[in-house]
Structure 1
Amino acid sequence: MPIIDMSTLSPVGEFGSKAWGEACSEASVKILEAADIPADTNWAFTEDYTHPPARLMEGERTHAGYYIMVKDGKVSAGDGIPDAARALPGFHVRMPWAYLCNQSGALYGREGQQRRSGHEAELMAAIVAHTGNDNPFNFIINAEGKPNAFLDPVGPWPSAVGSALGEGGEDGNGLHNIAATLQSDSPEFADLPVTDMRVPIFGEMTDDQKQFFLDLCGIGR
């Protein structure tokens, strides 16, 4: 049975805000502390959202994002991207805030995740075609010579961690849906065309909207 009761959750802050990251972290710790995590588990999750709106960086924050860390089986999590978490193998991603923000508020299970990924691939292809740049977000180049938002050291999700954070995902629970429920809407997307998964539709934007969105993503800065 899932640890978090979804009926008790409500929006606490925008995607990438300190309040939202701390709430996601708190839920993650509750879930993982209730799980049977082997004592030799060393793994971390970090999501670093670049080019966030200035309002999200108040209080001398240096990163918009949050982390989950399991060190020798002990769980910690919080706002920010600490070096200790980044040093562990795991799931580490650095992407523009605007590219992920709106659709991160959509509730879904496995099929919805696949549709979101498909819509995001279309968004990326449209941006690449519009800018004429195969790497518009200046991602690192991986061993295959392709831009990649995922950062080293990469490590697979430990089964105990993945199972715990994903529990109930097909029924509206799980870490993604918890984070989506805690997220409040950001005004930048109020007038942009989006898919049913809330992914911006670049091809349906006006010229001004396209430039606005590219600026939000930090392209050209």
Structure 2
Amino acid sequence: MPINVAELKPVGEFGSKAWCVACAKAGVQLLEEGNIPDDVQWGFSEIYMNPPARLLADGRKLAAYYFMVKDGVISGGDGAPEACRALPGFHVEAPWAAICNQSGAKYGREGQRQRSADEKVMYSAIAEHLGRPSAVKVGFMKEVVWPPAVAAALGAGSEEGGGLHNIAATIQAPSPEFAEYPTTELGVPIFAEMTDAQKQEFLGLLGIET
């Protein structure tokens, strides 16, 4: 049965094990429903760096999730195994705090563009504050590859509130770190409007030494 976003409820914070497992399960289901060609070998993984300690409880090594299609088999789960990361696809590592809050916003294509623009402003403000460029490291591990069938499966209905991103946003619970920060409409922290204390705290969450 297709995923009904209207029936979904928050299951955990961004990067938590419960949230990662649920996101991976959704990704697997969307690919299974998408009739992916047998010759597609593709992987998706996101690793959230410098997460709060509570997200790594009980011996959890990474705040991350993945799903993949290999040799006709679709699988996924918590973590980011090398078998997935070695495949062409979408593989990213980003500071948890850099993308956490806005990942809970639901949007379509235009919202994604606005989020990217808001994040660019945030990164520029941080670099200006520190007096050095590229203070926030968001890295793609290899060239991004989106086979048409995969892109269609994961993005289906995104303009109407569906698709992987909106599913993940809907099941994401708020993280307390962002409760008092100034943010854009899409939840991107507005670094330039933070108090000095908030700026120091946010830089710490990003893992940036000052």
Q: Same fold (TM over 0.5)?
A: yes
Q: TM-score, normalization: structure 1? A: 0.92
State the identity as a percent. Answer: 56
Q: How far apart are the structure 2 equivalents of 1:218 and 1:14?
A: 19
The alpha carbon displacement at 1:158 in A equals 1.1
Gaps of 5+ in 1: 140-147
1:192 aligns with 2:181: yes
Residue deviations 1:90-140 (CA, integer Å, cap 9, x gap): 111111000000000001011111111100000000011111221213x4x
Corresponding residue number in structure 1 for 2:171: 182
Residue deviations 1:145-197 (CA, integer Å, cap 9, x gap): xxx61112x24111111101100000001100000000000000000000001
Q: How far apart are the structure 1 equivalents of 2:188 and 2:120?
A: 10
Corresponding residue number in structure 1 for 2:104: 105
Corresponding residue number in structure 1 for 2:51: 52
**1:26-175 → structure 2 map (5 Å cutoff):** 26-137=25-136, 139=137, 149-152=139-142, 154-175=143-164
- Which residue of 205, 211, 215 maps to 2:200? 211
The alpha carbon displacement at 1:6 in A equals 1.0
Corresponding residue number in structure 1 for 2:5: 6
Q: TM-score, normalization: structure 2? A: 0.96
Q: How far apart are the structure 1 equivalents of 2:114 and 2:144?
A: 25
Give the partner amino acid of 2:108: G
The alpha carbon displacement at 1:38 in A equals 1.1
Which secondary structure does the structure 2 equivalent of 1:58 belong to?
Answer: helix
Q: How far apart are the structure 2 equivalents of 1:30 and 1:89?
A: 20
Gaps of 5+ in 2: none
Which secondary structure does the structure 2 equivalent of 1:38 belong to?
Answer: coil
C-alpha contact 1:43 1:155 (8 A) present in aligned 2? no
Runs of 4+ in 1 over 3 A off after TM superposition: none
Give the partner amino acid of 1:218: G
Give the partner amino acid of 2:63: A
Q: How far apart are the structure 2 equivalents of 1:66 and 1:88?
A: 15
Q: How far apart are the structure 1 equivalents of 2:28 and 2:67?
A: 8
